[in-house]
Structure formats: structure tokens, C-alpha cells
Amino acid sequence: MRAQRQWIDGRAVHAASGKVLTVEDPSTLAKIAQVPHSGRADVDAAVAAAARAFPAWSATTPGERSLALLRIADAVESKRRSFVRVESESAGKPVSAVGLEVDAFVDNLRYFAGAARNMEGKAVAEYLPGRTSMIRRDPVGVVASIAPWNYPLLMAGWKIGPALATGNTVVLKPSARTPLTALMVGAIAQEFLPAGVLNVITGPGDDVGAYLARHPGVAMVSVTGDTATGKKIAAAGADTVKRLHLELGGKAPVLVFDDADVELAAATLRAASFWNAGQDCTAACRVIAGPKVYERLVAELAAQVKTIKVGPTADKATEMGPLISASQRARVAGFVDRAAKRAEVVVGGAAMRARGHYYKPTVIAGPAQGSEIVQDEVFGPVVTVQRAKSDEQVLEWANDCRFGLASSVWTRDIARALKVSRALQFGTVWVNDHFTLASEMPHGGYKQSGYGKDQSMYALEDYTVAKHVMLRSE
């Protein structure tokens, strides 16, 4: 097993301490790589390199930055097969599924390459006599980008695309469990970016991430991760008043009204709830059904879930792989075991006998609204279905949650769809669909799912500061 290196100031380097971390395949438990276990010296070096690179990079034209992003996207696309293999092995994703994530990374970078050339300030005008005002959108500075393990490559792309497109320099820290594809992007990026513009360092969150997040040289922290992590990062950044971009947990409600197409809903949930073994912040995990469709929906969903092919990630027929780690599987099992005391486990409900961290796709019917399985993020292949008494209760239960990332509404009544979409406190509302994303459209939350938008022109705004320049014009 070869020890990989990280990217600081355009060079591939080991951790200053020489320490390493081992990366494991969650499907086979094979040890597949070693990466640097960074410490404070590595973070200091990466932040200093990003700070040195900032003046020149922020002065490049949007066209130059756009071209660099396009070249990185092309190079990743040309290595699609390697990215698929490495992401599949290190994140426990079926090879049949992970290609779409590589494609989405490429599409996202290309979107930001185009969008970079379309950023606008406000039109120049005289708001006071003899004074001309203009609005610039300028980069923030050094951005610390901290990414999770559930979509290692895609989340790295969501972060570096808008940050680099707008002229910031970046220190990217992927999850210690899944750092390999971010390091591959780092290697590619060095060919097309000046030294220090994109640094990629690896190490655990509670020391390396925490030190990076409070580093005085960092102007903005962008994190995708658990809500508890977001709170710690917000507290750590308070001292130096850092700008924050927080994409945190989710608990997506699926509102199935009595006039819904139940077959379509169940067939959609088969993928939307169990993609990536349910380890998805927008996973359709909290179904709330009207009284007339509840029984049929539980039966249809159970039938769908029984057909999901769980197996080795390298097998092309596999649809669902393992969970990321033994601890994540134990956490999921704990939620299900406690829920089973008061609700019915209709399908699944147990770990699988396999070498990796496998857990059966699970449907739980009838949990109480206040129960932890309904209120907390399980982050595994587990869906609950609740029976509401009325349309009003469907909506009330959906919003009765501390998260607010994504939701879906299932109805044939357009007026109801519009009314409910407006009332839902979630950053995305799908109507008769769930899970589909487009690079042009914003992704981000309400409440404890965080603030700031990924994807779309809104992300470009988040990675810039609106600056007012006023000129004496008479």
C-alpha cells in the first residue's frame, strides 16, 4: 500500500509529522490506501500558500478562471473510470451508481466555468447628486472547504467550483474516511492552476478540521457535514467573525396526499430513499401519508424495497452497498431497534451477514411524530411512514422538524401543490418527484440544515462580498 501525498503550494507532500491515516473499503474491509495525517504545521503551510496565491488569482479575468475550471473538468472526465473505481472502493458505492456522481462533478464545474463569466454587479447610478455608485462582487480571500464522506468527489466539486470561479483561493479538507478522489482532483488541478490556488490536505475533523476552521488566515469556512459539526465550526469562527457557508443535516419529509399517484411515489422512493444506502442529506426518509392512501403506500413501498439488490460494490448488478463504517451501522441499528419497540418494522430491520458494513433496506410503519426516528437524522437505509389524520396534519408534521433541507409533495391537485410548497420550510420542494438536482438550481437549507447555497448563481454570490464603490462625479 503506497502512502499518498497531499497538495500544498503546488507540491505533493507528506504530513510534516510523517504520520499517516489508513483508508478502508467499506464493502470488503480491505485497507486500500494511506494518506497524510496532517497537523497544525500542514494547515499553516496550506493557508499561507493560499494567502500568497490570492492576490494574483483574484486579479485574473473571469475568462481565465473559467478556462482553468473547464480544463480540470475535462481532465476528470477523461479519467472517469479511475474516479469511479476509487470513489466506489473508498466510499462503499456501487460501481453502477457512482459514474453519475463523477458526471455530476464534471457538469457542476462546467456550470461554474460558464457562470463565472456572467457575474454582475448592479448597474451604475447616481443615488446622490454628484456621486456615482457601483457594486462590485469581489472574492472573500482564503476559503476553507470542509467536505463529508457521503459524496466525497461531488461535494469537493460543489465547494471548489464557486470558490475558484469567483477568484478565491482554497484549502480543501475532505473527510478522513474518503480523501482519495479529492486528492486526485488536487493532482489534476495543479496542472491548470497556479501554485497555492487549490491546496488539499487530509486528516481528521476534530483536530485538523477544527484548527483549519478557526485559523486566522481563513476568511470563510464552507462545510458540508453534520449539524453538530456546523455548530462547532460556527462557534470556532465567531472569534475572527468568519463568513460561513453551512450545508448541514436533513430529514426530508415526503408528503403523500390522498389523491397522490401512490405507485409513482413508491417507485420513486425506491431510489430516492435508498440511493447511497440512504446516506444522503436529502434522502426521502420521512413519509407522511394521508389516511386514505396510508395502507396502500406502506404495501407498495414494502414491495418496492424488497426488490433492491444489495451486494458487493464491485458487482455491476448491485444497487445498494454498505454503510460507510461499523460505527455508522451501529448507529442506524440502534435507531431501528429502539423504534421497533413502538412501531412496526415492515421490511428489513437488521444488519446483513456480510463482510462489509451492510444493513438491510428498512421500512418502519407508524412511528410517533415525536419519536427520535422521526425527528433525528438516521443517515442510513431506513424510511418511516406515518399516517396523518388530515391534509393539515400532513403539513404540520412535515414542518415539525429542526431540519429544513429538502421535501417532496405528492398530489394530483396543482392548487394544493402550490399552497403546500409555499408553506413548507425546506430549501427544496419537489412536486411528484424527489432527489433530482440541477447545477443551475440552488441547494441549501432552512433552520438547522444551515445557510448558504450550493450550485447555481446563488453560490457565486455566497463566495463573494458585495462592495459599494462611490465616486465623486462632479
Options 38-46, 127-135, 182-190, 219-227: segment touching ligand NAD (CB under 6 A)? 219-227
Q: Which of 152, 150, 191, 144 is nearest to 170 (CA)?
A: 144
Q: Does 304 bind ligand NAD (CB under 6 A)?
A: no
DSSP state, 12?
A: E
Least Cβ distance, residue 234 to ligand NAD (angstroms): 10
Nearest residue (CB) to ligand NAD, 112 versus 257: 112
Which grid coordinates are listed for 24? Answer: 478502508
Q: Does 253 bind ligand NAD (CB under 6 A)?
A: no
Q: State yes or no: is 401 an active-site residue.
A: no
Quick one: how far is CA 88 from the chain centroid? 17
DSSP for 122-157, written as a single string: PPPEEEETTEEEEEEEEE-SEEEEE--SSSHHHHHH
Site string for ligand NAD, 391-420 (x = CB under 6 A): --------------x---------------
Q: What is the C-alpha to C-alpha distance for residues 445 and 68, in angstroms, rounded to an integer?
A: 30
Q: Does 285 bind ligand NAD (CB under 6 A)?
A: no
Nearest residue (CB) to ligand NAD, 381 versus 445: 445
Q: Does 175 bind ligand NAD (CB under 6 A)?
A: yes
Q: What is the C-alpha to C-alpha distance for residues 293 and 257, in angstroms, rounded to an integer?
A: 7
Q: Does 166 bind ligand NAD (CB under 6 A)?
A: no
Site string for ligand NAD, 351-390 (x = CB under 6 A): --------------------------x-x-----------
Q: What is the C-alpha to C-alpha distance for residues 82 and 122, in angstroms, rounded to an integer?
A: 44
Q: Does 326 bind ligand NAD (CB under 6 A)?
A: no
Buried b / exposed e over 90-101, threshold 16 CB at 10 Å, is bbbbbbbbbbeb
Which of 46, 49, 172, 176: binder of ligand NAD (CB under 6 A)? Answer: 176
Q: Does 248 bind ligand NAD (CB under 6 A)?
A: yes
Q: What is the C-alpha to C-alpha distance for residues 174 and 146, in angstroms, rounded to an integer?
A: 6
Q: What is the C-alpha to C-alpha distance for residues 8 and 360, in angstroms, rounded to an integer?
A: 41
Which grid coordinates are listed for 67? Answer: 478556462
Q: State yes or no: is 300 an active-site residue.
A: no
Q: Which of 400, 380, 294 is nearest to 330 (CA)?
A: 380
Nearest residue (CB) to ligand NAD, 74 versus 107: 107
Which of 157, 205, 290, 349: binder of ligand NAD (CB under 6 A)? Answer: 205
Contact status, residue 222 vs residue 163, Cβ threshold 8 Å: yes
Rg over alpha carbons for the chain, rounded to the nearest Å, is 23
Which of 147, 298, 323, 333: binder of ligand NAD (CB under 6 A)? Answer: 147
Q: Does 247 bind ligand NAD (CB under 6 A)?
A: yes
Q: What is the dihedral of CA 374, 378, 383, 386, to 10 degrees?
A: 0
Q: Does 275 bind ligand NAD (CB under 6 A)?
A: no
Contact status, residue 312 vs residue 399, Cβ threshold 8 Å: no
The site for ligand NAD, by CB under 6 A, has a size of: 32
Residue 263's SS3 state is helix
Least Cβ distance, residue 235 to ligand NAD (angstroms): 9
Contact status, residue 444 vs residue 427, Cβ threshold 8 Å: yes
Instruction: Please identify which of the residues 24, 87, 101, 247 carries the catalytic annotation.
Output: 247
84: phi then psi, degrees, rounded to nearest 5: -60, -45
Options 13-21, 147-155, 186-194, 390-398: segment touching ligand NAD (CB under 6 A)? 147-155
Q: Does 209 bind ligand NAD (CB under 6 A)?
A: yes
Options 64-72, 205-213, 256-264, 284-292: segment touching ligand NAD (CB under 6 A)? 205-213
Q: Does 189 bind ligand NAD (CB under 6 A)?
A: no
Instruction: Please identify which of the residues 101, 281, 319, 377 carries the catalytic annotation.
Output: 281
Least Cβ distance, residue 152 to ligand NAD (angstroms): 9
Q: Does 93 bind ligand NAD (CB under 6 A)?
A: no
Q: Which residues pair with 132 in a beta bridge?
A: 471
Least Cβ distance, residue 221 to ligand NAD (angstroms): 8
Q: Does 281 bind ligand NAD (CB under 6 A)?
A: yes
Distances 385 to 340, 362, 363 between C-alpha atoms, Å: 13, 11, 7
Options 70-78, 91-99, 228-236, 288-296: segment touching ligand NAD (CB under 6 A)? 228-236
Q: What is the C-alpha to C-alpha distance for residues 72 and 104, in angstroms, rounded to an integer?
A: 14
Contact status, residue 26 vs residue 91, Cβ threshold 8 Å: yes
Q: Does 232 bind ligand NAD (CB under 6 A)?
A: yes
Q: Among all residues, which ones are annotated catalytic?
A: 247, 281
Footprint on this chain of ligand NAD (rule: CB under 6 A): 146-150, 173, 175-176, 204-206, 209-210, 213, 223-226, 229, 232-233, 247-250, 281, 377, 379, 405, 443, 445, 449
